[in-house]
Every structure is written in C-alpha cells, then in structure tokens.
Structure 1
Amino acid sequence: MKTSLEKYREYGRRIEDLIRPATFPLAVKIVRPEDEIAPEYKRPFRDLGVQNFVCQNFKMARTYGWTIAVTGADINCKLARALYGWDTLTDQEREWAEDFSVGLYSKDRETAGKFGRHLYALDEPFAGLIISPLTRTKIVPDTVLVYCLPAQAMRFVQGYLFMEGGVLEFAAAGRVGSCHEGVTKVLKTGRPQYVTLGNGDRVWGGAHDHEVMFACPAEKLDVLMEGLETTHAAGLRYPIPQYMNYAPGFQASFEKAAVQRAGGTIEKK
C-alpha cells in the first residue's frame, strides 16, 4: 500500500508525463507549529541572507528543486504578510495600500477600495508554509500549484470538469496571483483555481510572459487526476495533436508569382 507521500509523488510524475510543464509542480503545506519545519529545508533569511517574496520561493522550488520553508521572518511583501496573517494592517496602512493603487491599478480611491473585498486571508494562527517539488515532496500538501501554458491549464480544467461537471469559476485581478489565488483562496474555498499571474509574479517571482498557474486543493487532487487520466485515454492530449492530414496550398496570387519566379520549372497539373 502506498504511503501518502508516495501517492502525491506519483501524482507529480503523472502530471509531468501527461501535462509536461517546464518546471516542477509544487506541493504547498501550511504548518502550524514551527517544529514541523525540518532543519534541512531551505530558509530564505537563514540560508540566503534575505527577506523575500513568497512568489520568489515558488520560483526557486519549481526550478532548483529545493524544499523551502518560509515564515514571517522570511517575507517582506506587505500584502502577502497580511494575507498570511503575519501582520494585522492598521487603518493607516490600509489607506496607504488604497492610495498606492490609485493611478496604477485603480482610477480613484473608491475603485481601489473594491479590491479588498475579494481577498481571501488566512484567519487561523500558523507558523509558515513549506514548498516542495511534488515528484519528490517532503510533505503532504494542502494545495498543489502547477505553472504552465494556457493549453496545459486547459487540460487540467477538462480533467476536473470531466468528473465534476459544469464550469470552473475563477476570478482575475492581474495582481496578487500565486500567493493569494494559488494558496489562500484555494484553502479558503476548497476549489481549484485557474490563476492569471500578476506583475508581482512576473517582476519578482520570475514567471514568464507565457505562464499561467493551475492550483488544486489536495482533497480534490484524486478527482482531478482521475479526470485527467480518463480524458487523456479518450484522446484529449498535451501536446495538442493538431490536424495535419490535408493537402496544403497557396493563395492564388502567391501561387501565380511562384510559378513566374520558377521560370516554368514548377509542374502544373
């Protein structure tokens, strides 16, 4: 019988086989007592000598293959600190955040204030989070993150809806993507998310222009994988098997010019 870790590692291998993402799928776990953080896990402040952003640690884990643990001592992103409960924003800080958005993300103060209504913050005390490549995960995840192409995310959506039906509903703000929609929103709603990565993910988190994210709560991963395997067997594949069985041709004007350039060497049927 497989252990829980072996099961999730096998899911990671199957995702890599069926979806072929360019970087490692990630297992992410919220830990409450800090003694769940093993000494060998990388720590940004201790091992790199910096406080950084949560999205930077996702990038390192998915490209370097590190297992990384982050706590409030490691993170200096003010919004992430508020979302994860490491800081309680004062009224003055909330006003500053809204003022910061005006002229950048929002046309005025009233518009800026609407954004906060759609944020999902963790409201239970916890020590931090552990991020580990899924194929070699050191932890049983709470959520699984896959940075991928839109066509690869499409396959996840198809697999999930094969089992659950309906449509996948998600929101996009062009900001606060991976740390919020990939983790805290997934944990609070219990539903998968198709994540449009924002400027933070791309400027500091190293996400490329072509990347999006699919995030799935761990309790839904069995459903997702069954749907992914079944739809793959039925013929929905990645890479997309584009239709190639046709005789190619040219626009009439292009063909006429080609014949003239060829000086009669092109055989006309």
Structure 2
Amino acid sequence: MEGFLTTVKETVNPATQAVGVNLVRDAETLAGQKIRLRDKHLAVCQQIAYSRYYGWSTWCTAETSHCVLGAAATGLVAPPERVLSGAVNCSVYQKDELAARSMQQSMPRLSERIAGVLTYPLSRPLAGMEPDLVVLYVNGAQAMRFIQAFLYHQGGEFVMKSSGDAGVCARGIAQVAKTGEPVIEIPCLGDRRFAMTQDHELIVGIPAGWLERTAEGLAATHKAGIRYPIPFQIPERCELPPTFTTGAEDR
C-alpha cells in the first residue's frame, strides 16, 4: 500500500485521501478493532466521505446503512421490490416504470450478502486489514492519468458505464468487486448533497489486485513525460496591445 500511495502522491496528488474498502463477510474478523464511527446511520457515500476528508474509519451494517440503493448494491440487504421494480426512480430519473425498471436491472449489485461495509484511509488501515478495493476522488485531468495507468500494460481502451445514480456504491464498489476491474464513474446526486462531493470530482475505483500495476503505470507514464499538473506551453512574446508592450523607450 505504501508504494501505491507514494506513487499516487508523486504523480497525481488527489485533494482527498485514498480510501480502503472492505466488504466484510464475517463481523467477527473485526473483533477488537478500533473503528471511529460505528452505529451511525450513514449512506455508503458518507462512509467514504468520512474516510477521505477526515481520515476516519467507518463501519455500517444492514441495520445502519441508511440508503437502500447503496445497501442493496454492496450486498448488505437484498434489493427490495421498490428498487427492482424501479418504483424508487420512476418519475424522478425516468419517465415511466418500464424505463425505471430497465435502469435498475442494469445496476451493478453484489449477490452475496455481507455483514458490513468497512472504510478507512488507505494510509492508516486497521490492524491486519488489506482492502478489497480502493476508492479515490479526482478531477478530470487526474482521471485521465489513471486511465493511462490502467492501459499502460495492456493498451486498448477504457470503457465507462454510468446510470447517473448510485455512483460510488454501485459502480465504484460493487462493479469493481464483481468484475475485478477498475472503474471511473460520475458521482451521483446523493454523493454531492450528503457526502460533500464537489462538482469537478470523479470517482476512481480500483480492485486490490490492480494497485501494483496501477502504480507502475502511473510511474512509467510520469517518467515518459505525461505529468500532472499538465504543464502549459507559455509563449514568448505573447500578443499584448501596443500600450501594454515594453518598448525600447521604456528601457
């Protein structure tokens, strides 16, 4: 983890911390662990926010995960009928129930039930814990650098999918966990309203198995000259009005 974090800091330097996420099957594995926020009714995106902004660890179960979309996506609860039918987003995100149901049917969700979602700053993991995946929030230029890193070894293209809803829980976490592939996603409305996500931010989700190769891709492309921040080409003798231009009479 240290090598990944060092490389990300040197090459991309996101404004907030990388977050480790564990989809915990057995709550007993956390016995004796010191977790900053327990028994708080939070959405998954809020758990991520506490970890990336404040450096706090969080733990939510089916009883405390507040947003049913996030709880269903991450395997905390079985998707209720109002979600599967599209009733939750009908006449909100889609014009009718058919369109709403189609959206929900395409939403990534974990089928296996879990005991809870654990988040923490990747720089300070819980004792003995290795993340299942890592979530970062970045700007557009930084997202470009991650895409370049993802494609460094294999080439091809990077494909994004989005529903405009359930961004970090369904795509940044569930899709990454299901496919074992990295994701870049647009944060949803709830993430912005309740979890302090900024207008310019995008979500990067990376499975644990991709951390080393992502760091290698970032470092190699950085060494090749693809730098962040992107250096502008500042022209000599830029075009200024004559009265603004230093002339011979001024020297």
In structure 2, how many angstroms separate the alpha carbons of the residues matched to 1:29 and 1:92? 27
Candidates 120, 125, 128, aligned match of 1:132: 120
Cα 1:86–1:145 shift into 2, 3 Å: closer
Confirm or deny: 8 A CA contact 1:23 1:147 kept in the other structure: yes
**Cα distance 1:171–1:34, how it changes in 2: closer, same or farther (>3 A)?**
same
1:174 Cα shift? 1.6
Task: Indicate if the aligned counterparts of 2:42 and 2:64 stay in contact, CA closer than 8 A.
Answer: yes
Q: Distance in 1 between matches of 2:246 and 2:155?
A: 54
Q: Give the equivalent residue in structure 2 for 1:169.
A: 159
1:13 aligns to 2:12 (yes or no): no
Cα deviation for residue 188 of structure 1 reads: 0.6
* Structure 2 CA distance for aligned equivalents of residues 177 and 210 of structure 1: 15
Instruction: Provide the residue aligned with 1:111 in structure 2.
Output: 99
Give the alignment's TM-score, normalised by structure 1: 0.84
The answer to whether the Cα contact below 8 Å between 1:10 and 1:135 also exists between their aligned partners in 2 is no
- Give identity over the alignment, percent: 30
Correspondences of 1:1-269 after superposition (within 5 Å): 8-37=1-30, 38-45=32-39, 50-91=40-81, 94-95=84-85, 98-138=86-126, 139-250=129-240, 255=241, 259=243, 267=247
User: In structure 2, what residue type is equivalent to 1:40?
Assistant: K
Aligned-pair CA distance for 1:130: 1.6
Aligned-pair CA distance for 1:122? 1.2
Q: Quote the Cα distance in structure 1 between the aligned partners of 2:124 and 2:80.
A: 40
Q: Deviations over 1:168-201 (max 9, x none)?
A: 1110122110111111000111111111111011
Shift of the 64–266 alpha-carbon distance from structure 1 to 2, 3 Å rule, reads closer
Give the deviation of 1:12 after TM superposition.
Answer: 1.6
Q: TM-score, normalised by structure 2?
A: 0.90
Q: State the distance in 1 between where 2:80 and 2:114 align.
A: 20
Cα distance, 1:93 vs structure 2: 5.5
CA displacement, residues 67-102 of structure 1 (integer Å, 9 cap, x when unaligned) = 22222122121112222233234435644xx23423
- Partner Cα separation in structure 1 for residue 164 and residue 83 of structure 2: 22
SS in structure 2 of the partner of residue 28 of structure 1: strand
CA contact (8 A) 2:41 2:60 kept: no
| Offset, 1:39 | 3.5
Larger helix fraction of residues:
1
Structure of larger gyration radius? 1
Change over 3 Å in CA distance of 1:136–1:161 after alignment to 2: same
Structure 2 counterpart of 1:28, which letter? V
1:158 match: secondary structure? helix
Count of equivalent residues: 246
Gaps of at least 5 residues in structure 1 are 1-7
Q: Distance in 2 between matches of 1:107 and 1:238?
A: 41
Moved more, 119-128 or 212-221: 119-128
Q: CA separation in 2, counterparts of 1:88 and 1:179? A: 14
2 CA distance for matches of 1:92 and 1:208?
29
Q: Could you tell me how far apart the structure 2 residues matched to 1:58 and 1:17 are?
A: 23
- Distance (Å, rounded) in 2 between the aligned partners of 1:190 and 1:146: 16
